[in-house]
Copies of this chain bind each other. A is one copy, B any other.
Amino acid sequence: MDNFTFCTPTRYTFGRGAEDKVGEIAASLGFRHPLIVYGQGSAVRSGLLDRVVKSLQDKDIECSRLGGVKPNPEDDLVIRGIEMCRENVEIDSLLAVGGGSVIDTAKAIAAGACYDGDFWDFFCGKAKVEKALPIGVVLTIPAAGSEGSGNSVITKREGQVKISIRTDYWLRPKFALLDPELTFTLPAYQSAAGIVDMMAHIMERYFSPTEDVEVTDRLSEGLLLAIINEAPKVIARPDDYQARANIMWSGTLAHNGICGCGRAEDWSSHALEHELSALYGVTHGAGLAVVFPAWMTYMADHRPQKIAQFARRVMGVDLADDRAAALEGISRLKAFFTSIGMPVTLAQLGVSDPDIPSLVTRLHAHKGDPLGVYLPLSPSATTAIYRLML
């Protein structure tokens, strides 16, 4: 187990009607005038945004609004949000009403509003976030885990560069309100993509070269077992409150850092997927359902031990040989993804003729060479992994 620091200060309020407490909680934490960030209108159409504003007004909290955030959120809205914060000095906080893209946009605005230069400096490594406006969240999509993480992923439109940053403290929301009922209306495909995304957040941390991390391993396996148990219920019955609740809380724990304590994290599957999203506009979670089994299949031949542990402890495989166990576990994982309507090949993802050389070139240009830590990957390795997705 490696040395680590860990702090998750977010105040979670979880359950039916949680969003109606937004005014009370925001007031108690000193929010006086948040900029509300939201997506492409579903929060408006459902009446959620009106309820949020009403709850704030009941506590004499003013607000400004910035809508229109899209999946794989881009820098243009971040820039607009930062301008709004600069133009209206009353704005003292951010309130994200939506899923990961909305929250990540709010986070980038929160950091950029406290920084004199271009906010992209944080994403390209030129500057470190050392201050940010406080952020609150009303979560509507369980997937990205951004409601509990210190991370933000933004795509720079120019060049379609998708970059993730992580802070220990500043970008962690001060509060997050999680009402599973808000997720009843999510389409099955989006629910399933979210489920893959949260599983991937755990697996990126689980497939680590660090040994003797039994406690973090077991926690990760427990979360994966819970997700695999609850996911089919969510797909079969979108208004199954208990299953939605289990999935929603799993999504938060998958990415708040608890599954990474004490070990190096890999994240090469996310990097492989980010290039697919950037070039082909695929849904992040669906892309991960294609990438992860391919990455694991490569590892079954090159470093099978942890893949075999996953197969035995999570997928119930009972085979003594590591490679055989790993391959059987991957086969069961693919069957699970298929069962919830996710693709497991690039063709199923809608990418029929992928430009693998281009993906590989961009990947290593953006994320370095070698990539990852479980088994560091050269361009020839990542080429092989993209080919395993065909």
Contact = CB atoms under 8 A, between A and B. Distances in A.
Interface of A: 1-16, 18, 211-223, 225-227, 229-230, 242-243, 245-246, 249-250, 253, 258, 261-262
B1 A6 contact: no
Contacts of A227: 215
Contacts of A229: 214, 218
A230 B246 contact: no
B15 A11 contact: no
Contact of A11 (B7, B14, B243): B7
A226 B221 CA distance: 11
A227 B4 CA distance: 20
Nearest to A242: B212
Given A222-B221, A226-B214, A262-B245, A4 B15 contact: yes
Contact of A14 (B8, B211, B261): B261
Contacts of A15: 1-4
| Residue of A213, A218, A223, A250 contacting most chain B CB atoms (<10 Å) | A218
A9 B6 contact: no
A246 B14 contact: no
Given A1-B249, A9-B9, A249-B262, 18 more contacts: A1-B15, A1-B242, A1-B246, A7-B9, A7-B12, A8-B9, A14-B261, A212-B246, A218-B222, A218-B223, A218-B225, A218-B226, A218-B229, A219-B223, A221-B222, A222-B222, A222-B223, A245-B262
